[in-house]
């Protein structure tokens, strides 16, 4: 009997479509939430304070931890969406931390784009790590 060689690293077209659909939906929801938080920082800060009586830093720290675990699990399995979702959760937590600490504190040297670039850089680095590990 001849054995057929199955390439386990090859992703199916249908699986890739679902991954991109999930990632796209999460990105759009993240952008809407980030826009709300940046336009209403006091309301976002008070809203986080009222969630189960936790301190303001607990929500971003918790979501970063959950995102890091999801990213790590995503590296261990074949599908890509857990590592993408985990990377987005970590980057979103960095963004939430920036909003809570004060957006203008991250404008190093008067460059206004740096607070925007830090979460994007975190996301890109994590996605690059995920891409390198799944090859």
Q: Tens digit of pLDDT for each residue in 37-50?
A: 667 767 666 665 56
Of the candidates 135, 31, 11, 29, the residue with the CA atom closest to the CA atom of residue 81: 11
Q: Parse the chain into domains and list their residue ranges.
A: 14-133
Q: Are 86 and 30 in contact (CB under 8 A)?
A: no
Of the candidates 115, 120, 61, the residue with the CA atom closest to the CA atom of residue 93: 61
Q: Are 92 and 65 in contact (CB under 8 A)?
A: no
CB under 8 Å, gap of 24 or more: what pairs does 53-59 form?
Answer: 56/100, 57/97, 57/100, 59/96
For residue range 95-134, list pLDDT tens digits in order. Answer: 888 877 877 777 777 777 788 888 889 989 998 888 887 7
Q: Tell me the whole-structure pTM to 2 decimals.
A: 0.66
The pLDDT score that the predictor gives to residue 26 is: 75
């Amino acid at each position: 009997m001849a054995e057929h060689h199955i390439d386990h690293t090859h992703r199916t077209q249908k699986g890739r479509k679902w991954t991109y659909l999930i990632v796209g939906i999460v990105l759009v929801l993240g952008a809407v939430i980030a826009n709300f938080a940046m336009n209403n920082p006091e309301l976002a800060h008070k809203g986080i304070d009222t969630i189960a009586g936790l301190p303001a830093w607990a929500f971003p720290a918790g979501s970063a931890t959950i995102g890091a675990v999801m990213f790590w699990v995503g590296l261990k399995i074949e599908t890509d969406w857990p590592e993408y979702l985990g990377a987005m959760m970590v980057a979103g937590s960095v963004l939430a931390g920036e909003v809570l600490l004060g957006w203008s504190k991250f404008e190093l040297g008067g460059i206004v784009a740096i607070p925007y670039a830090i979460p994007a850089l975190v996301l890109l680095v994590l996605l690059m790590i995920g891409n390198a590990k799944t090859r």
